[in-house]
Amino acid sequence: MIGLRRGTVSLVPYDSTWANEFDKEKAILEQAFGDKVLAIEHVGSTAVPGLAAKPIIDIEIGLEKFDDYKELVPLAESVGYQFMPDRIFDEYVLMPKGSEDCRTHYLHFAVVGSDEWNNVIGFRNILRSNSRLRDEYADVKAKLASANTSNRAAYTVAKSDFIERALSAGAHKNDTVDTSS
């Protein structure tokens, strides 16, 4: 089951059906976008086997150049995503799918090879390949989720320190991330 009320934080145990949910959504997006995108990737915690997550499927859409998102917005809207002008950031655009009571998917548009793209894909790959870091991240997320159940923005910001340290550490198989700061 996927979906979570907008703005809330609730982690659920890993669900192997999340990969199937991504595959179904990817097929819809491939039909909607055609050859206008370079890649469609499952990212975020639902893309990491064994990791508890908010039950929302995050999808990274690879663009050739940033302004390409403008052509994709109406296509994404045609398959249920919502364009929100306040969700345009320096290196990515975010579009949610689902009602305010039940957000099910997030599209993230970013340029392939940009810092945003490399960090999102890189962090997913680190967690997939390094069980120690995955478990540390799970602990960090659990603590932050219990402290921020109604403040998704604070939860997201608080996780960023761990993510930055994991990316900068290079995250070799035996690395740990200092979470004391």
- Residue of 22, 13, 53 lying closest to 40 (CA atoms): 22
pLDDT mean across residues, the chain: 91
Please report, for the chain, the start and end positions of each structural domain, with discontinuous segments joined by +: 17-168
Higher per-residue confidence, 160 vs 70: 70
Give residue 45's pLDDT: 96
Confidence of residue 181 (pLDDT cuts 50, 70, 90): very low
Q: What is the pLDDT of residue 35?
A: 96
Q: What is the pLDDT of residue 177?
A: 45
Query: What is the share, in percent, of the chain residues with pLDDT greater than 70?
Result: 93
pLDDT tens for residues 120-147?
Answer: 999 999 999 999 999 999 999 999 888 8
The CA distances from residue 37 to 4, 52, 62, 65, 71, in Å, are 27, 29, 6, 10, 10
Residue 40: both structure tokens together: 């469609």
Report the distance separating Cα 171 and Cα 176, nearest Å.
Answer: 8
Greater confidence (153 vs 21) lies with 21
What is the CB neighbour count within 10 angstroms for residue 157?
Answer: 12
pLDDT of residue 149: 82
Q: Please name the helix (run of DSSP H) or strand (run of DSSP E) that holds residue 119, with its range, or none.
A: helix 115-129
pLDDT tens for each residue of 64-100 = 999 999 999 999 999 999 999 999 999 999 999 999 9
CATH topology of domain 17-168: Beta Polymerase; domain 2 (3.30.460)
**pLDDT over threshold 90, residue 173:** no
